[in-house]
Amino acid sequence: MTGRNRGVRGGGVGRHLIVEMFECDPVALDSIDVIKTALLDSAVASNSTVVSFDFYRFKPHGVSGYVLIAESHISIHTWPEYGYAAIDVFTCGEHTDPWKGLDMLRDRLKAKKMTVLEIVRGVGIESYEGYWVPPEKRKEERVVATAP
């Protein structure tokens, strides 16, 4: 399977996109307002639930920040002087689509080139019975009360 067809429907718990964007608009990459709005809108576009966020503008240039979502996170680090942004989009759950959020980010940052490594997280976890066992697989334990 490739790209947009993989993920939780095909196994695992989520999809993690490791993204590099090149030849982006340096003004957008250096604006905390543009980056903040773009990441928050990306969370909404991916059908995720925003929990928290924080952003920081470096001197003389560059912005780093994250949006914590109930389904994981979206983060960015920018280098306006190179027109470059490093981005993570990690979403869990069948209701999310990290690719929709990524498409929106690419448009906002005006990236001319983009590379993406998609990692399906937690493949095989559904059959793992280590420390945590799903309730439906637990053996019923009955406690027999004894009279004193």
Residues catalogued as catalytic: 72, 77, 92
Query: Tokens representing 51?
Result: 């929990």
Nearest alpha-carbon partner for 84 in 113, 41, 60, 53:
113
* Tokens of residue 40, six digits: 């928050």
Nearest to 89 by CA among 2, 28, 9, 14: 14
What are the DSSP calls for 25-43, one per residue?
Answer: -HHHHT-HHHHHHHHHHHH
Distance CA 112, CA 91 (A): 24
In angstroms, rounded to a whole number, what is the distance separating the alpha carbons of residues 132 and 75? 29
